[in-house]
């Protein structure tokens, strides 16, 4: 992560620390007041024109704080709206994704439109033409779309990169949640005593922590590689699919191992661990589940054939 991204991560950490316990509406106001909604908007449109790596620092920070709001969509939607000439609705847009056979969008207070990729156009569906679709395990509210919205012309490359960028930002948010959950449990096992010593000194507990830490590091490495390639314009589908697949795979293992090490208290509302593991379970299904990404990787490998598989996996880009 570059120096700018590290500074941005520190700023996001300070903002979220100051906003702890705030309502969703107040958190959204703080997000906008800090200019974070303009992070990926082009400078020509009045935005900051950040790289995907720099924007990922915002998503990572959101994950480490277990903060509310659909931050991935709040980062990506304004750039899409401005690119389509609809800067007037940029601050109140969300983005729909395929969830099973349905198109659904995570929503927030005051949202007005859901954006969808409709071939080579950007679809705009007004909020009044959607229906409530319940909440996910992390408590995020969703709206369902029944059909496409009004089509707007937009740069084809930007539209084509939507799923990739959303997958990588989701993976960044998930790795932030993994990091924080891991820190919580390490602190617990080093202070909680049983049979006269800290439970973190028992080999079985150490194995649980090691499994969670290993999966977290692998997810971070896959994400860093894909982000670096994306910023350089050399990323291939297999790169970002692998990053999201590993984040999803790690989410299940990390949550299971950490809850086992923490014990019953980790499942209670009073303890913070569930805030992060619920975020992992939610993120695992968003913008490509690990199973869906792995199926696509399998199709790419099959299409490459025996002669093209190794170059697909190992060639420098």
Assess whether 139 and 176 both reside in one domain: no
Q: Are 170 and 144 in the same domain?
A: no
The helix/strand/coil state of 254 is: helix
Helix 273-285 × helix 162-191 angle, to 10°: 150
Same domain, residue pair 275 and 296: yes
- What is the domain count for the chain? 2
Tokens of 202: 């028992």
Residues 259 and 229 in one domain: yes
Give me the torsion for CA of 61, 171, 187, 273, rounded to 10°. 90
Spatial distance between the Cα atoms of 103 and 81, rounded to a whole number of angstroms: 19
Q: How far is it, in rounded angstroms, from Cα 74 to Cα 63?
A: 14
209 and 90 in one domain? no
Instruction: Give the pLDDT of residue 132.
Output: 92
Last residue of one domain, picked from the residues 155, 185, 204: 155
Q: How high is the pLDDT of residue 316?
A: 56
What DSSP string runs through 204-236?
HHHHHHHHHHHHHHHHHHHHHHHHHHHHTT---
- The torsion angles phi and psi of 198, rounded to 5 degrees, stand at -60, 140
pLDDT of residue 118: 80
Would you give the DSSP letter of residue 271? S
pLDDT along the chain (317 residues), means of 10: 79 90 91 94 92 96 94 96 91 90 92 88 91 93 84 79 96 98 92 77 89 97 96 93 97 96 81 92 95 95 90 74
CATH number at residue 256: 1.20.140.10
d(CA 63, CA 40): 19
For residues 97 and 12, membership in a common domain is answered with yes
Domain co-membership, 119 together with 202: no
DSSP 129: G
Q: Are 52 and 195 contained in the same domain?
A: no
- Give the helix/strand (H/E) hosting 140: none
Determine the pLDDT at residue 158. Answer: 81
- Do 126 and 256 fall within a single domain? no
Same domain assignment for residues 87 and 215: no
Which pLDDT score is estimated for 1? 62
Domain region containing 24 = 3-155
Could you say which of 91, 126, 155 is where a domain stops? 155
Q: Which of 155, 182, 205 is the last residue of a domain?
A: 155
């Amino acid at each position: 992560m570059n120096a700018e991204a590290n500074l941005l991560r520190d700023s996001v950490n300070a903002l979220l620390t100051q906003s702890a316990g705030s309502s969703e509406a107040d958190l959204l106001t703080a997000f906008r007041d800090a200019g974070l909604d303009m992070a990926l908007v082009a400078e020509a449109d009045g935005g900051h024109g950040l790289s995907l790596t720099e924007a990922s620092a915002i998503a990572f920070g959101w994950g480490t704080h277990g903060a509310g709001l659909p931050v991935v969509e709040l980062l990506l939607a304004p750039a899409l709206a401005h690119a389509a000439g609809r800067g007037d609705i940029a601050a109140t847009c969300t983005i729909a994704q395929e969830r099973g056979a349905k198109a659904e969008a995570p929503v927030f207070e005051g949202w007005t439109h859901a954006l969808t990729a409709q071939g080579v156009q950007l679809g705009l569906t007004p909020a009044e033409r959607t229906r409530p679709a319940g909440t996910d395990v992390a408590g995020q509210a969703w709206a369902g779309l029944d059909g496409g919205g009004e089509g707007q012309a937009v740069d084809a490359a930007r539209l084509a990169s939507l799923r990739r960028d959303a997958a990588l930002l989701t993976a960044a948010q998930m790795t932030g949640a993994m990091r924080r959950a891991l820190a919580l449990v390490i602190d617990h096992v080093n202070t909680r005593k049983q049979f006269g010593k800290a439970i973190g000194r028992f080999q079985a507990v150490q194995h649980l922590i090691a499994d969670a830490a290993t999966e977290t590091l692998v997810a971070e490495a896959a994400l860093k590689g894909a982000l670096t390639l994306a910023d350089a314009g050399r990323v291939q589908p297999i790169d970002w699919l692998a990053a999201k697949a590993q984040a999803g795979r790690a989410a299940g293992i990390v949550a299971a191992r950490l809850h086992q090490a923490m014990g019953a208290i980790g499942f209670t509302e009073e303890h913070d661990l569930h805030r992060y593991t619920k975020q992992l379970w939610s993120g695992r299904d968003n913008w490509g589940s690990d199973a869906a990404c792995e199926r696509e990787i399998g199709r790419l490998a099959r299409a490459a054939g025996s002669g093209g598989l190794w170059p697909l996996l190992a060639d420098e880009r």
